[in-house]
Structure 1
């Protein structure tokens, strides 16, 4: 058993309002239950025969298509805001009476004499305005009102905005049914400044006024109505519809209860009543364990406490059984059976657990070993780098060693794609069929650890079509592993220096590759979220995909810098032949150092020669030096790759050669930026495209077409 108390039932109703809404009928059958967003419970009702009598009849008016419908009490023409059966109250809009206020309509008084409605004692009478003497009318012989002054001082007054200065308040009489007020001036001969100013008076819900109105001006100039609470009662006699008996001794049952009729010796449930208004009236409600509308026939329905979580007290081996108005706890045989089966299952699980424990100990040793490798391979350093990146690094997939062993057939030598100074690259296929390149770094020592982690961090920040994409990494193996997208056609060095007769390494392809590399470096220098210097640009680090598009790779020595930095001071690192002499002397690496290395790559593409060659004289073993000297001697065509001879590309070759010469300037400040290099190469590429298009059209028409130089001369005339 649970205590039968009204507060508990109200708690249940608020705890699960959706249950009460679905299971309880609040209006009479075939009558509308709502108007807009307002519930209309019986004895109120919309339409003929839906209310207890005319006093409780509600009109539902649709003002506009956009706004919801509004409910009005038909007899007293007051807008309904909320109806409460539990408190026997209705919340309505009450007009504001004014004097000397421009823009307001005619003052409306309220007379509810003879109705079951009266102003609740939870309201208060308010007067606002400078020098306002407001009195309630038609309540003789009593005099109820208040007077506000024009003083602006609020010192030491609680609720200072309505404590007499421009605003005053007082309680209303019990059972008030008429609201009409007279407004005037106190006629103070010393201070008459408020005599002709705007004055207002109104009855308002006390709690609403305290929480929503902070100054008199809000009401005086912006409001026409304020909310008030009306008490309502049910009378015996002629108000009772046919077939309904409201005598408390006849209606009282297990489901509902009605107060005895109010007379001179009883006060009823509301307490604050007068003999004149509430004589021969009653108030009903649903008993504990029931919910609904006590004014309807069988309107109070049983609450199933067993379906409401946290309400019933049944637990352990008992189950909740609902009974009308209550619930009871009975022994649950199913739970007892389940307990026995559970004990047997538990014993079996204990045996299985012992066996699994052995497996877990063995597995844990393996995990500890992987943790050791993770720490040794720079996992903590990687986490630190990622956490300090402010969210700019894309999420990198962490592969398990088992996945990558399976992908490379346990790192079979037949899967090797290439070997370099930082490790070996294997070709692998993941479980989803994706072909990848897996870089197995050499044993990481303290000197190489930062390079490896730096490559992960740098590539995680880069998203460009001409930069090799890092898919993930694995640090739980003896040596760290990086997983890249697979680039099938090797590196640029092979196509420049290992000539293949079956492959035509044309000028158009060389120019396009140079342009793509320039775009990637321009992106790294200026368009990436953090400026990135590659620091090891060379032809072996430029990969070619299935469509021979360039992909810049190998970021092991790259560094990101703050946006406001102009250079990076480090130990000199790079590849001999591509290394910026200015960087070699000062140890200060700038974006122009990458420009120098790219200039060497341009010289490679033009000449087909290696960056360092002992076949050249000692003072010209560096391709950069040899290239600049030939440019100064105006002998650029002496170094041109023989595969480019006869392609009639002199002007384009000279334009690219001049660009390479500017990139190779010993003074870094005189070199162009990578953005300028990319723009210039794109322009040369566009001119080549237009030339090829014109030539193609001429060939199609059978006309003899001029050389590129002659064509350019004709266009410039």
Structure 2
């Protein structure tokens, strides 16, 4: 939280510890920051001074008191301090690997008991003795003047006990006091002056305390998502080394605070110059890195990962250099190429090229190609304007030839910086879309600032130009229009219901429906922009939309759904029925929108005034009205009341069949009345399409009359 302090004095206080109300994950992790007489801020964990917190190891370093027993030779009696410590059993343990029970004295016996048990169960003990000061060894704690013993694992409540029965009062003539403590082994060094002086009288010693989030295992903790502490992406749960409880760590290749959302960040291993052995280069990626050999080198065959000189390549290069007459010019060219290669490598990494490359290398069936910048430039004659076949708000489309295949290359204008890293993953999804009525994404080029996309080439232009740019005298039959509508609907239904994850197009319009050599509809631009995740299972295209096609509900909520595509498809149905532009800026304001004019005409039953003269035919009016009714349903202002694209596809399929074999052509009144009667009694009868059987039955009766 912003109001919580993250340090006290020189000690960093990371979450789950915290200073202040609601700043720690639990009360046991609350830290107080006290100001001493000299104005220094000092942190305390309970009553103990806090020296350091280690998140990854689950340890804190604290100051522990030293217990003493001193002999008063004048009064012939001992005075001593008892020492005991009770750790929170749910969150703390003494570290049994880094701490030691330590006893200092020349005639000292110490017992250590587990005070948690009513019977004071014995944990250990130690005896230290010495005959004279000369027998002491500086730095040695092997029993002469100093003794150390281990702490059992899982200890959390202990008490020291001096055994006076083993005490030699003569030793107190030169060593009046005995000391006992728990101390971190690497923080303590025995000093012989401890025996004859009072250096330890009121001194504290550092000790390592294990901490954990809760006294439960990772397996159990994960089952309660509301209290599970490992909330950062790229974090893992680990069982505490103390033998109880669990901790959170960042996964390999990440660092930071796993107890915070977004706390674990990628480690850039390549920032360390020693990550890869020279001359290997380092390539960083999310969660790891890779060493690769630069031009002129290759990896050794001994799997050591080191690079060796590629002699064949070096000899060939040297021979070429000798032949060149302008050595300076050649050096300059090599320098510029390497400089460009670094820039291209940077773009390749930014756009997720490693993800795609690994997929291509591991899956031979993966029909996707990463083209080089040079290949794309050659295919388009360096993006010659003569090869432009389309313009859009997001970029320009060029016609080109790659590997003896005609392709369409989309050169986008800009790319959202925050989405660069997801580009590789999104290309994996889009490249696996395979449908006869969807333009196939063949590959991409990543060595440029804005990635370029390579599609199959569709020769007969767009549905928009087919409808609105007809050659004088040419006609588009109603059957052709129905077929194109049905094929387009099938493509969108596939994206919504069969693609994994689901894809919402977001910019459905006649300009984005292409026609191949057989005038088969092909939906395009479903992946023309980067994809962005809306939740864990769905992807949508980056939507700019087009005036006249945009879902009014989306314009209000900015929330794209599959029903937004349904609305836009309804506008396309109007184009097919009327051959009119979706927005006519030359018309009066109330008649500019084709969808508004259509809905008004339907309400006033004047739809024939809007229809294209080419399809006005008394025999086809029933079919046309079916399409108009479907378009009306698609243009419903409420998205929930629109049909799905699957239902639209089924209805168009039914209407096509109605066009080919009109229902009621051979009128059987008794059969039709039976169907109508079944429908009226709620009997479910097999039918296709979005509209009810009752409606069909009534139309059949009307036709028979």
TM-score, normalised relative to structure 2: 0.45
Higher strand fraction: Structure 1 or Structure 2? 2
Which protein has greater RCO, CA pairs closer than 8 Å, 6+ apart?
1
- Greater Rg, structure 1 or structure 2? 1
- With the length of structure 1 as denominator, give the TM-score of the two structures: 0.44
